Amino acid sequence: MITQDSSEILPTIRDFPPRHFEQFIADVWQHCQGWTTEVMDAGPDKGLDIIGEPPDGGAKTAVQCKRYAEGNKITSSDIQQYASLRQQWSDVSGVTIVTTSSFTRNARNRAQELDVNCINGEDIVKIIDRYDAQEILNWYATGKPSDW
């Protein structure tokens, strides 16, 4: 197994193809946190990449994944757009945006107003460390199959 220190994790994830990033996030949530996850079909997805349901069977969450470069931040208009996923999907009540980048201050404020959960690149690294998800990271980093 390839061991990466925390400083190498985010650059590794930013190198994943966008679809692998979505699948990686779903796998970490499912295998490490006990969520039930469904990665939506590739193509026009109405802004929905993953539907997740917590282990206790609570309300479903729409997850939008953005594999962005460090300087490409999520803005308040992005938050507003993705908050509307609750209206587009009848069985979804939570919205989470996961990015390898970060959120502007206005985006964080808007997310709080609209009850949107924000997970930035640093948070992803902490989640990988906290849940010991290095094996999943390595599987994707060493050439996960291109199709499910």
Average pLDDT per consecutive 10 residues, the chain (148 residues; last block may be shorter): 70 93 96 94 75 90 95 96 87 94 98 97 95 92 66
How far apart, in whole angstroms, are the C-alpha atoms of residue 102 and residue 70?
Answer: 7
* 102: in domain: yes
According to the model, what pLDDT value does residue 145 have?
A: 56
Range of the domain at 83: 6-141
Report if residue 30 sits inside a domain.
yes
The amino acid occupying position 103 is F
Number of separate domains in the chain: 1
